[in-house]
Amino acid sequence: MFQEGIFEGKTALVTGGRSGIGYEIARQLLQYGAEVIIASRKEELLQKAAEELSAHGSCHAFPLDIREEERVEALSDFIQERCGKLDILVNNAGGQFPSPAEGISRKGWLAVINVNLNGTWFVTHQMANTFFLPQQSGCIVNIIVDHYRGVPGMSHTGAARAGVDNLTKSLSVEWANRNVRINSVAPGIIKSSGLEHYPPEMVAQVSKTIPAKRLGKVEEVAEAVLFLALADYVTGETLYVDGGSRLWGDMWQV
């Protein structure tokens, strides 16, 4: 898909890179020559993923909860020591759970907002201030969700991801003249580890309504991320990777 070695000399951070979509993004970045840091909470699984990914290139692991600002700061120190710079940040870590709005508790709401909106902000703010803005170069890609028609049945994540989508626009303008770009990728329903948290009948029902008549693949999301990492004049954009489902078809049964 891309020219061999096109990411050589680049350093990339992929949050949530131990599994699913993030793992494939990390794998492709390594395959095309980048040095990659993956960061997430479950240390054993994270180390195992980094070992596997090392078959494709230089991969480091850093245990991190993106909601903890001190750990995010420690991660930027780690990257500075190991790699000396950062070129690409992929904010992929995140998650949510299906629930009718009236059944979402205060704790559940705050958990989803904290990880998907606040956590994404903490990592973005830290990496921009430590690396991208002083370097006058950098590129951020946020993985959000398809929230084009709202996210009925998961209103908490819809609100959080719409926040990240809007942040993408604001920061793209603030940082454009400092050669820092920021874009988002909005996946539809992707066959990945994340889907295991949803009832299989819910997934089967919704996959029939996607105009492309199939679920997306992690490879297809990763390719969109790599494209945005290379597209020097694209910023403030959200690229939907959803087989057309933002425009047509039923959503989850609510």
Positions in the binding site for ligand NAP (CB under 6 A): 15-16, 18-22, 40-42, 45-46, 64-67, 92-95, 115, 119, 143, 145, 187, 189-190, 192-195
Report in angstroms how near the CB of residue 35 gets to ligand NAP at its nearest. Answer: 19
Pick between residue 38 and residue 139 the one whose CB is nearest to ligand NAP.
38
Pick between residue 33 and residue 64 the one whose CB is nearest to ligand NAP.
64
Residue with tokens 């959803």: 242
Report in angstroms how near the CB of residue 91 gets to ligand NAP at its nearest. Answer: 8
Report in angstroms how near the CB of residue 135 gets to ligand NAP at its nearest. Answer: 24
Pick between residue 33 and residue 215 the one whose CB is nearest to ligand NAP.
215
The residues near 246 (Cβ < 8 Å, ≥ 6 apart) are: 146, 148, 149, 186, 188, 240
Report in angstroms how near the CB of residue 146 gets to ligand NAP at its nearest. Answer: 6
Report in angstroms how near the CB of residue 233 gets to ligand NAP at its nearest. Answer: 26
Pick between residue 33 and residue 38 the one whose CB is nearest to ligand NAP.
38
Burial call 10-34: b when 16+ CB within 10 Å, e when fewer: bbbbbbbbbbbbbbbbbbbbbbbbb
How far is residue 149's CA from residue 14's CA, in Å, rounded to a whole number?
A: 28
Report in angstroms how near the CB of residue 149 gets to ligand NAP at its nearest. Answer: 14
User: Of the candidates 101, 190, 116, 185, which has an alpha carbon nearest to the alpha carbon of residue 150?
Assistant: 101
Pick between residue 112 and residue 128 the one whose CB is nearest to ligand NAP.
112
Pick between residue 88 and residue 145 the one whose CB is nearest to ligand NAP.
145
Can you spell out the DSSP letters for 204-244?
Answer: HHHHTTSTTSS-EEHHHHHHHHHHHHH-TT--S-EEEESTT
Taking CB atoms within 8 Å and a gap of at least 24, the contacts of 38-42 are 38/13, 38/14, 38/62, 39/13, 39/14, 39/15, 39/63, 39/64, 39/66, 39/75, 39/93, 40/15, 40/16, 40/64, 40/93, 41/65, 42/18
Pick between residue 194 and residue 243 the one whose CB is nearest to ligand NAP.
194
